Amino acid sequence: MKETSPLNLYKQLPQTNCKECGEQTCMAFAAGLIARTKKVEDCPPLLKDKKYAKKLAALQSTVAPEVRMVYVGVGDKQLKVGGEDVMYRHQMTFFNKPPFAYDVTDTMDEAKLVERVKKIATWKKFYIGNWERVEMIAIRSVSNDPAKFAACVKKVQETTDYPLILCSFNPAVLKAGLEVAAKARPLVYAANKENWKEVAQLVHDFNVPVVLSVPFDLDGLKSMAVTFESAGIKDIVLDPGTAPNGKQLQESLKSFINLRRAAVEEAQRDIAYPTIALPINAWLTTQDPVRAAYWESVLTAAFVIRGGAIMVKHSIEAHSMMPDMHLRFNIYTDPRKPVQVKPGVHNVGTPNAEVPMFLTTNFALTYYTVESDLGSNGINCYLMSINTDGIGVQASVAGGQLTPQKIKDAFDESGFKWEEQKYPALVLPGMAAKFSGELEELFGGKVKIMVGPEDSGRLGEWMTKMWPPK
Ligand code: SF4
């Protein structure tokens, strides 16, 4: 969506302020369209009343993302792939983080298959207030046997409801997989120069999204995309080739950048589709599993940064997955809004009437650092996070987002009962030490104000020396 002014979108709305969309005004709805918290379909009058047909068409075309959004899977695990509007994150934000798809094969014995699928589907890591997870399973046909592939797809579906990628270049194998799983809207990998006619027919018949694979030939890829689109197949993902090393890796990375640029800066609609990268190809470069897992992680990082919209991977060891999970999380947070936690009083461990109340801001990075330092030192306590619009302690003290009055108001709103505490004491971060005197006054002497360390890593030492207060 190139449009960034709500006023221009407002012109295409009915302008009745009927509130049916859940917003108070059409202007608020227009702002929601830009922020992608609202969809055009959320405005019932625009959809129902024929007199708005022209406005509806204009609005739909204006708000369509520059890179087509492709839906894979169904239900609450359905994934949005692509749908980006900008080349660089700082120009606005990226919206849909690339799902990580971990592979299984149709030659695995059943027990191992089920065990791996369960491992993939249950993997999670808590990071800055979110559970990071794997999102997809890529089922690779190694046997090239339609019956074996169908049985494998069936077993995976019995074990998890994760969205799937069905991987084979053999149309008969793909057909067998689709007969089992088409209702779950899997992504088909892939149509190539040899099989594209049969695969086009299959994805048309089963109404599922498809990857077009034409490695290291962007003109060929474009021409195949045009052919598919002219056949009415629009849910397309592009595979421009993922070389695992050497000069061809350089070419691969350039192709990903060029495809994104063609979509968002040059408005080449016939190639404006999301891309799939195969960091799993790292396993072609070495027999050593540790080196392969490491290189797979490096390739994933390189392709996430270049805008790859799906990553197909193999290594589920923590040392390979964690760096990519963290990188992806940070790239796909909205740079316009710092990551925040809910303001208010939080429990750390099992607090009781004899524990201290620590204070920090609602900037997620600060909050979770303090919380983790408290937790790892075995400190049971309360932790108040003050709403500073997601700004850290030092900057918010300097910028006026954290003030003694704001702290007092936050406690009043929280309803925290100081009188039930044996030692009613509030521990300020060292960087907010200058608020001590004013806070003592604001609390009317009923709460002792203490000053903690500047670095939360030293909270354990601080507790030993300073708690309980004398
Ligand atoms: Fe405006 Fe449509 Fe919302 Fe009604 S439903 S307020 S017409 S945007």
pLDDT interval class at 152 (50, 70, 90) = very high
Cα distances (Å, whole numbers) of residue 106 to 143, 168, 355, 362: 6, 11, 56, 47
| 104-132 average pLDDT score | 94
Nearest residue by C-alpha to atom 8 in ligand 1: 26
Enumerate residues 6+ apart whose C-beta is below 8 A from 291: none
Q: What angle do CA 367, 371, 375 make, to 5 degrees?
A: 175
Q: What angle do CA 112, 301, 161 make, to 5 degrees?
A: 40
Instruction: Say what the pTM is.
Output: 0.85
Q: Is 154 helix (H, G, I), strand (E, B) or coil?
A: helix
- Cα(14) to centroid of ligand 1, in Å? 7
- Cα(17) to centroid of ligand 1, in Å? 5
The DSSP result for 263-285, as a single string, is HHTS--GGG---BEE-GGGGGGS
Please choose from 7, 10, 12, 16 the residue to mutate so as to test ligand 1's pocket, defined by most ligand atoms within 8 A of CB: 16
Whose CA is closest to 213, among 184, 267, 255? Answer: 255
pLDDT of residue 181: 98
Residue with tokens 């936050």: 410
Beta strand pairing status for 236-239 and 210-213?
parallel
Q: What is the rounded radius of gyration, in angstroms, for the C-alpha atoms of the chain?
A: 27
Residue 33 Cβ < 6 Å to ligand 1: no
- Cα(40) to centroid of ligand 1, in Å? 10
- Cα(434) to centroid of ligand 1, in Å? 49
Please choose from 11, 19, 25, 26 the residue to mutate so as to test ligand 1's pocket, defined by most ligand atoms within 8 A of CB: 26
pLDDT interval class at 2 (50, 70, 90) = low
| Residue 365 backbone dihedrals phi, psi, to 5 degrees | -60, -45
Residue 6 Cβ < 6 Å to ligand 1: no
239 - beta bridge partners?
213
* Token pair for 42: 């959320």
115 - beta bridge partners?
none
pLDDT of residue 443: 95
- The region of weakest confidence among 32-46, 210-224, 398-412 is 32-46
- How do the residues of the chain divide into helix, strand and coil, expressed in percent and rounded to 5? 50, 15, 35
Number of Cβ atoms within 10 Å of the Cβ of 150: 20
Phi-psi region of 368 (alpha: psi -120 to 50; beta: other; left: phi over 0): alpha
Enumerate residues 6+ apart whose C-beta is below 8 A from 7: 27, 30
pLDDT of residue 87: 93
Sign for the pseudo-dihedral over CA of 151, 152, 155, 156: negative
Residue 186 Cβ < 6 Å to ligand 1: no
pLDDT of residue 338: 83
85, 92 in Cβ contact below 8 A? yes
154-174 confidence digits (pLDDT tens) = 999 999 999 999 999 999 999
Q: What percent of the chain has pLDDT over 90?
A: 91
Residue 428 Cβ < 6 Å to ligand 1: no
338, 363 in Cβ contact below 8 A? yes
pLDDT of residue 128: 83
Cα distances (Å, whole numbers) of residue 236 to 56, 233, 360: 24, 7, 46
Residue 304 Cβ < 6 Å to ligand 1: no
pLDDT interval class at 324 (50, 70, 90) = very high
The DSSP call for residue 155 is: H
367, 453 in Cβ contact below 8 A? no
Number of Cβ atoms within 10 Å of the Cβ of 268: 13
Half-sphere exposure of 450 (CA within 13 A, CB side): 21
Report the C-alpha gap between 174 and 201 in whole angstroms.
11
* Token pair for 361: 């801001």
Number of Cβ atoms within 10 Å of the Cβ of 208: 22
pLDDT of residue 339: 86
Cα distances (Å, whole numbers) of residue 170 to 145, 147, 202, 269: 9, 13, 11, 29
Q: Which domains does the chain have, with CATH numbers?
A: 6-63 (1.10.15.40), 69-332 (3.20.20.20), 344-466 (3.40.50.11600)
Residue 317 Cβ < 6 Å to ligand 1: no
Residue 19 Cβ < 6 Å to ligand 1: yes
Please choose from 37, 39, 43, 56 the residue to mutate so as to test ligand 1's pocket, defined by most ligand atoms within 8 A of CB: 43
Query: Residue 107: what residue type?
Result: T
- Cα(10) to centroid of ligand 1, in Å? 10
Residue 14 Cβ < 6 Å to ligand 1: yes
196-206 vs 171-181: helix crossing angle, rounded to 10: 10
Q: What angle do CA 122, 124, 130 make, to 5 degrees?
A: 135
229-284 confidence digits (pLDDT tens) = 999 999 999 999 999 999 999 999 999 999 999 999 998 999 999 999 999 999 99
User: Please, what is the average pLDDT of the chain?
Assistant: 95
Q: Where are the beta strands (DSSP E) in 9-106?
A: 69-72, 79-82, 100-105
H or E stretch at 9: helix 6-10
Please choose from 20, 38, 42, 60 the residue to mutate so as to test ligand 1's pocket, defined by most ligand atoms within 8 A of CB: 20
412-461 confidence digits (pLDDT tens) = 999 999 999 999 999 999 999 999 999 999 999 999 999 999 999 999 99
Half-sphere exposure of 427 (CA within 13 A, CB side): 21
383-396 confidence digits (pLDDT tens) = 999 999 999 999 99
